[in-house]
Chain A
Amino acid sequence: MYLIKDNVFSLITGRTITQGISMESEGKFSKEYFKAVALIEMNPTDVSKLGIRDRAKVIGECGEVVLPVKASNDVPPGVVFIPMGPWANFILSSITDGTGMPTVKAVRVAIEATNEEVTSLIDILKAVRAKSLERIPQERPIKTGEKKVFEDVPCPFCGDLCDYLRIELDGERVVRNIGGCAISTAKFLNYHKDRVLKPFIRSGGRLVEVSLNEALEVASEIIAKAKYPLLYGWSNTCNEAIELGVELAEVTRGVIDNTSTICHGPTILGAQEVGSVRSTFGTIIQLADLVIFWGSNPAHAHANHYARLVMSEGKYVKGRKERKVVVIDVRRTPIASMADLFIRIEPGRDYELITALRMAIKDLEIEAKEIAGVSKEKVLELAEMVKTANYGIAFIGVGLTMTGAKHRNLQELIKLVQELNEWTKFAIIPMRGHYNVSGANNVDLWLTGYPYAVDFSRGFPKMIPGVTTAVDLLSNSEVDAALVVASDPVAHLPRRAVEHLSEIPVVVIDAKWSLTTTVADVIIPTGLVGIECEGTAYRMDDIPLRMKKLVDPPQGVLCDTEILSILLDKVKAKRGVV
């Protein structure tokens, strides 16, 4: 039922492996990142139909960008793909349907051939009125000499939290990462590059280097004075830091939100409505004979995932040959070619397919001949497959959370899996992005009862999706200051939300230069958890692991926990809460 009118297309955005590698090695201002992220993938027939030579203008609800075009059969006609990043976000609307999650998949955009210059990162930052484009990246000084080897190192990149890395050091330089994926390797080998090494405050529009104490003083002033600050990020740091963040939100009566708000937030909302059916990696390796990837693309976003969980041999299932793999997606992702069954679904219509599956499992008659672009026969085939598995697992991705019925998709999928347990064993694991986003949800839960988007305006916690969620707060201009910890909202939030960050005072605590540093009024350098700092993080299946400290943080640089403790004390003092 998807209508293709003239030049109207359905835009899908998502992670890619080159995006991840370039981000972790050279940073978001690099040519590599530009090459990896500033592009649009289109079906060759659409490319020729529109008479596109090498670039196209993409017009969304909120803006337009010019991007190089990559012709690819992986996307069906009528659908286009832009990697996750500032270009995609620049044209996306910030409307969240009350879920906190903007629609970043199955978005209608108009596309036309153009000869205009490709939109640069600078163009975008200027358009969102970034406070300045200045950045002062440095390499952290590295002592070399002593050879050291660390075993069983957990990787601080994605939610797979691979904890079997062998990291070899020459003094403080990482020389090898054995076991890690390409992005992991890029992260470890380049951890010293593009660093924030000094504290800065913005003064007269310029970044001025100051002492740590002065930076913390200004930061605490901003946060303490705010009537309703937003404390955002938290998925790339340890639980101990997040606990301090929650206290800071409570003391300031502001809002703490983490990146799940624009990632698997809807999955969590679905669980709030109906519960959840979960498992852990070990169980899957030992028992799972059916693996479904639905709206998730592990080959790019979680590169070790497939080998670790699908290929591995378990006690009862002898590796890939005894496992069936099903991929459900709107485009032929790399993982699709490895699957036993690939089901292409129309963008934004997962809810209908899940509905039909639930009906098929209950032997209810389906009147429609085609559901979400999938034939009734194929629905029945899939239903039979899931029903007869011994132990099935669905790895679900943001393809489900960011589109169509959003959290209702997940709610229904959970329902489906709950019902499947009448016939077999079946579970769901959301493919969490950041390495400790699951920890951020867990910490928020035990301290406040809610997993994210927690508001303390009345002196107690409250979560109201669409009201206390970061994208809604920012795009409605409802917060008057922001603290950003270990995250890059300017790169990942929709345009309208980013624009508000340009309008309010912002404190950034980060180890690396990000796009968000361009809207920061205070920048505080920090150590990298899992390399320079210790702490606890939770894998996507909620297995808690201790992140290791392999080297000391750069001289004069503290860890998130230390910085936040001082900041908290200063804010408390300023607000008279001692």
Chain B
Amino acid sequence: MTQIIIRNGLVYDPLNGVNGEEIDIGVKDGRIVDPSEINVAEAINIDAKGKVVMPGGIDIHSHIAGPKVNVGRLIRPEDHYLTNIPHRLPYKRAETGLTVPNTFKIGYEYARMGYTLVAEPASPPIKTRHTHEELNAIPMIDKMTFILVDSNWIALDLIQGGEKEVLAAYLGWLLYATKGYALKIVDPGSDVAWMMKGKGIDLDEQIPGYNLTPRDIIKATGEAAQVLNLPHKVHVHCNRLGYPGNYATTLKTMGLTKDITKLSEKPVLHITHVQFTGYKGDSWTNLESGGEDIAKELNANPNVTLDLGQVIPGRPATTMTADAPFEYVLYHLTRWKWSTSDVEVESASGIVPYRYRKKNYVNTIQWTIGLEVALLSRDMWRIYLTTDHPNGGPFIDYPKVIAWLMSKKAREDFMRELSQRALRKTSLPAIDRELSLYDIAVITRAASAKLLGLEKTRGHLGLGAEADIAIYDIDPRRVDLSKQYDKVIRAFRRAYMTIKSGEIVVRNGEIVRTTYGRTIYVKPELPIDLLKDLEKMISAKFKQYYSISLNNFIIGEHELKKGVEVALKTHLR
């Protein structure tokens, strides 16, 4: 295996408390080792003088694979027309697409930005075999998928019946059966309402056909995640996403952490793409940012974490979510293309192409929310950089977001192009804070690893860590990051070098080889007695609800190109 030694780089490794120090890093057999273990004669020597060295980036929420991403590709051929990069065989396959790129472009672009692990955040269980096929086809990065359980008829039956243990066991079984990593709740209960009534519901409204509310689902699933000892607890997309005034629902949902019995030290709920659920006001015309209120709740509540879902004005986006009713509402605004799909027993989804316009009042408000939350947050370890790709914008624009976070000037320059009426209603223009490179390393890798429960081997450069490394060609001692933000964008857009599992895959911002990463999934250990009863129950429910056989639902380990199982000791007895 390759040995690499990276010398003289400025290392930002927050999990090990390293803040821009010149430290040499050794890589051997895919792991970080002490430089003294490297055979210098055989090793690749990299002089990183004047460059920034960070652990590989980790994206905790990006729609990169699965049925809905593929339908996005299907309905948007025009998204591909002017975005082609020809293949360079045998090193690199052909790339196409901007908001819904092909699998190759997804892997390559993440690698070019120094990212090495990405989570697909929403896969309907019955179609997760498809999600894995796409994950298998994405080169360069490691990956994982979260499993949708927000409107699952079997889970709802169990929640309604108060069968907490069985629910936990069922969800644990489901994660392993689908080779998923975490539980995802999207607009809980709403897809039931959508399939039956064509509408969505709020946190305390009744779910049609059940004596339950979305609040009950979040609470029950949250507790099941505790019992199962999941490394990443529950990933929540709040109710009423995309509606003016929804910040109140978000605050209420964040507050649910206190109702969930904690069995571990970790935060209890992760609220995702909070920008989309951070709207104050009661209509689009008087929309305001709920960013400040949300940041306040975040600062007060240590059991909750947030990712931004930052929007990128001036770029096309393709909105896609398992929040089917929301997409239907959005379709009424755009009146162009709309895709929706009802998935039996489990979920539904919607897709609508969208463009965030710079001069648009609402889009400007949306732009400020994500940044406000990040800049007003006191604990950088509980926020994460995302655009909810491709909902707020394509992930290739992360460097722009990094610049906005690091430079007030970047924000001011951009704000000149936005709706001034909207800006007058937000607090963002008055915020002076500028994040440091260290902060950026936290919100794009260290904290992300921790949130996913992978901080032992990922998101840092300590001994024994996975050798996922990004080197960026920018010298904070020579460049004024706050003023020369264009250099920040350039550096983060194209990494000087990306090392994935100990191999150099990107040099000077370009792919030098195509490799395939691993897919990480969990296997919660279930007590045998419980498992037997559970299988009986599931088998009966399958016959009643599903149109495929139980046997054909379960995804085999061999169906993953390179699966990595994380065995979990649960609290189930």
Whether A and B touch (Cβ < 8 Å) is answered with: yes
Whether B134 is near chain A, meaning CB under 8 Å from some CB there, is: yes
In the complex, what residues of B have CB within 8 A of residue A129's CB? none
| A-facing residues in B74-94 (Cβ within 8 Å) | 74-77, 79-80, 84-87, 89-90, 93-94
B344 lies within 8 A of A282 (CB): yes
Identify which of A25-33, A457-465, A503-511 touches chain B: A457-465
| A-facing residues in B102-135 (Cβ within 8 Å) | 102-104, 126-127, 129-130, 133-134
Identify which of B245-253, B263-271, B545-553 touches chain A: B545-553
In the complex, what residues of A have CB within 8 A of residue B75's CB? 271-272, 274-276
Whether B331 is near chain A, meaning CB under 8 Å from some CB there, is: yes
Whether A220 is near chain B, meaning CB under 8 Å from some CB there, is: no
With known contacts A154-B552, A282-B546, A447-B103, A276–B137 Cβ distance under 8 A: no
Q: Mark A275-314, 1 if CB is under 8 A from B, else 0.
A: 1111111110111000000000000000000001000000
Q: Mark B319-332, 1 if CB is under 8 A from A, else 0.
A: 00000000010010
Whether B101 is near chain A, meaning CB under 8 Å from some CB there, is: yes
A459 lies within 8 A of B87 (CB): yes
Whether A132 is near chain B, meaning CB under 8 Å from some CB there, is: no
Distance (whole angstroms) from the CB of B505 to the closest CB of chain A: 19
Whether A16 is near chain B, meaning CB under 8 Å from some CB there, is: no
**How many angstroms from the CA of A391 to the CA of B197 in the assembled complex?**
9
A280 lies within 8 A of B102 (CB): no
A-side interface residues, number (CB < 8 Å): 63
In the complex, what residues of B have CB within 8 A of residue A287's CB? 195-196
Whether A123 is near chain B, meaning CB under 8 Å from some CB there, is: no
Whether A451 is near chain B, meaning CB under 8 Å from some CB there, is: yes
With known contacts A445-B73, A456-B94, A277–B339 Cβ distance under 8 A: yes
Identify which of A77-85, A417-425, A525-533 touches chain B: A417-425
Whether B71 is near chain A, meaning CB under 8 Å from some CB there, is: yes
Distance (whole angstroms) from the CB of A238 to the closest CB of chain B: 11
In the complex, what residues of A have CB within 8 A of residue B483's CB? none
Whether A467 is near chain B, meaning CB under 8 Å from some CB there, is: no
CB-CB nearest in chain B for A448: B102
Whether B464 is near chain A, meaning CB under 8 Å from some CB there, is: no
**How many angstroms from the CA of A456 to the CA of B87 in the assembled complex?**
10
Whether B343 is near chain A, meaning CB under 8 Å from some CB there, is: yes
B549 lies within 8 A of A271 (CB): no
Distance (whole angstroms) from the CB of A293 to the closest CB of chain B: 18
**How many angstroms from the CA of A283 to the CA of B545 in the assembled complex?**
9
**How many angstroms from the CA of A250 to the CA of B344 in the assembled complex?**
36
Whether A538 is near chain B, meaning CB under 8 Å from some CB there, is: yes
CB-CB nearest in chain B for A308: B547
**How many angstroms from the CA of A278 to the CA of B86 in the assembled complex?**
33
Contacting residue for A460 out of B69, B71, B95, B195, CB 8 A: B95
With known contacts A276-B71, A278-B341, A250–B93 Cβ distance under 8 A: yes
| A-facing residues in B22-74 (Cβ within 8 Å) | 65, 67, 69-71, 73-74
Q: Mark B386-418, 1 if CB is under 8 A from A, else 0.
A: 000000000000000000000000000000000
With known contacts A277-B339, A446-B102, A449-B101, A546–B549 Cβ distance under 8 A: no
In the complex, what residues of B have CB within 8 A of residue A164's CB? 549
A446 lies within 8 A of B137 (CB): yes
**How many angstroms from the CA of A274 to the CA of B351 in the assembled complex?**
11
B129 lies within 8 A of A577 (CB): no
* Chain A interface helix/strand/loop/mixed: mixed
Distance (whole angstroms) from the CB of B179 to the closest CB of chain A: 13
Whether B342 is near chain A, meaning CB under 8 Å from some CB there, is: yes
In the complex, what residues of B have CB within 8 A of residue A499's CB? none
Distance (whole angstroms) from the CB of A372 to the closest CB of chain B: 26
**How many angstroms from the CA of A538 to the CA of B129 in the assembled complex?**
10
**How many angstroms from the CA of A578 to the CA of B89 in the assembled complex?**
8
Q: Mark A422-459, 1 if CB is under 8 A from B, else 0.
A: 00110100000000000001110111111100001011
In the complex, what residues of B have CB within 8 A of residue A283's CB? 195, 342-344
Whether B527 is near chain A, meaning CB under 8 Å from some CB there, is: no
Whether B556 is near chain A, meaning CB under 8 Å from some CB there, is: yes
B342 lies within 8 A of A450 (CB): no
Whether A536 is near chain B, meaning CB under 8 Å from some CB there, is: yes
**How many angstroms from the CA of A437 to the CA of B76 in the assembled complex?**
20
**How many angstroms from the CA of A437 to the CA of B195 in the assembled complex?**
27
B77 lies within 8 A of A450 (CB): yes
Whether A74 is near chain B, meaning CB under 8 Å from some CB there, is: no
**How many angstroms from the CA of A394 to the CA of B129 in the assembled complex?**
26
**How many angstroms from the CA of A280 to the CA of B553 in the assembled complex?**
14
Whether A175 is near chain B, meaning CB under 8 Å from some CB there, is: no
In the complex, what residues of B have CB within 8 A of residue A277's CB? 338-341
CB-CB nearest in chain B for A281: B547
**Contacts beyond the supplied A152-B549, A448-B96: 6 A-B pairs with Cβ under 8 Å:** A243-B137, A275-B351, A281-B344, A285-B344, A536-B133, A545-B548
Residues of B within 8 A of A (CB): 65, 67, 69-71, 73-77, 79-80, 84-87, 89-90, 93-97, 100-104, 126-127, 129-130, 133-134, 137, 195-198, 328, 331, 336-345, 351-352, 544-552, 556, 559
A-B contact pairs, 23 of them (CB 8 A): A152-B551, A152-B552, A154-B552, A163-B548, A163-B549, A164-B549, A247-B93, A250-B89, A268-B74, A275-B351, A276-B74, A277-B341, A278-B342, A282-B545, A287-B196, A418-B338, A446-B137, A447-B137, A448-B102, A449-B77, A461-B80, A536-B559, A545-B548
